[in-house]
């Protein structure tokens, strides 16, 4: 099985009233250069008549919180594994988002460098159930956000307020539902 690290190149968003209760899901474009079997999985899964199975596990390296990892163990239609590398300082919000909406779209950069370029091309939805826990994540993320807001000149309670406002705004965006538009002709 492949145990390669897969970098995230871009993160976009897609909302569909027929997918994941209409939640706005992250659309993650990954570099499959070092893991062609993951790219193959995405392509084959799109054509498979049965759903694929994936087990997801969050992880991090002790004493180094610069990156966190989402291990994806695909069981069918092709058995393979990879670790999505998520830099906390620049893409920590992706971890929060995945945990909040319990899933994401995954697509190889072979089909475009961002969500709008990859629309209509092979992509899969990965469900990350609420049972996939990451107990140390709140502490890791808070430390990263604190560092960010300190660098912006915030101090003391203003940092806490900024973190809470930032998280609240994220959730407001993530849980927006696409609207059905009807016109009377």
Tens-place pLDDT, residues 74-129 = 887 788 899 999 999 999 999 999 999 999 999 988 887 777 777 778 888 899 98
Please give the average per-residue pLDDT across 44-71, as a whole number: 82
Angle between helices 88-101 and 137-151 (to 10 degrees): 130
User: 29-38, 64-73, 154-163: which range is least confident on average?
Assistant: 29-38
Consecutive H or E run containing 121: none
Whether the per-residue pLDDT at 144 is higher than 80: the answer is yes
Please give the average per-residue pLDDT across 49-66, as a whole number: 82
124: which residues sit within 8 A by CB, 6+ positions away?
41, 42, 45, 46, 52, 105, 106, 107
The pLDDT value given to residue 140: 95
- Domain residue spans of the chain: 4-133
Q: Which of 131, 141, 147 is nearest to 167 (CA)?
A: 141
User: 19-28, 111-120, 140-149, 154-163: which range is least confident on average?
Assistant: 111-120
pLDDT cut 70: percent of the chain above it: 89
Which band of pLDDT confidence, cut at 50, 70 and 90, is reported for residue 183?
Answer: very low
Q: Which residue has the higher pLDDT, 184 or 88?
A: 88
The pLDDT value given to residue 44: 82
């Amino acid at each position: 099985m492949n145990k390669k690290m897969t970098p995230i190149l871009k993160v976009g968003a897609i909302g569909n009233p027929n997918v994941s209760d209409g939640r706005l899901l992250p659309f993650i474009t990954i570099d499959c250069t070092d893991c062609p079997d993951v790219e193959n999985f995405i392509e084959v899964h799109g054509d498979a008549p049965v759903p694929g199975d994936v087990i997801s596990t969050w992880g991090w390296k002790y004493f180094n919180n610069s990156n966190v990892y989402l291990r994806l163990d695909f069981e069918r239609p092709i058995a393979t594994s990879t670790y999505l590398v998520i830099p906390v300082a620049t893409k920590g919000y992706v971890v929060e988002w995945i945990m909040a909406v319990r899933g994401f779209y995954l697509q190889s950069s072979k089909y475009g460098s961002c969500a709008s370029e990859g629309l209509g091309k092979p992509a899969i939805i990965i469900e990350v159930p609420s049972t996939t826990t990451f107990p140390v994540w709140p502490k890791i993320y808070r430390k990263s956000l604190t560092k960010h807001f300190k660098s912006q000149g915030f101090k003391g309670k203003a940092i806490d307020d900024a973190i809470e406002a930032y998280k609240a705004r994220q959730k407001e965006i993530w849980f927006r539902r696409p609207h059905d538009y009807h016109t009377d002709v």
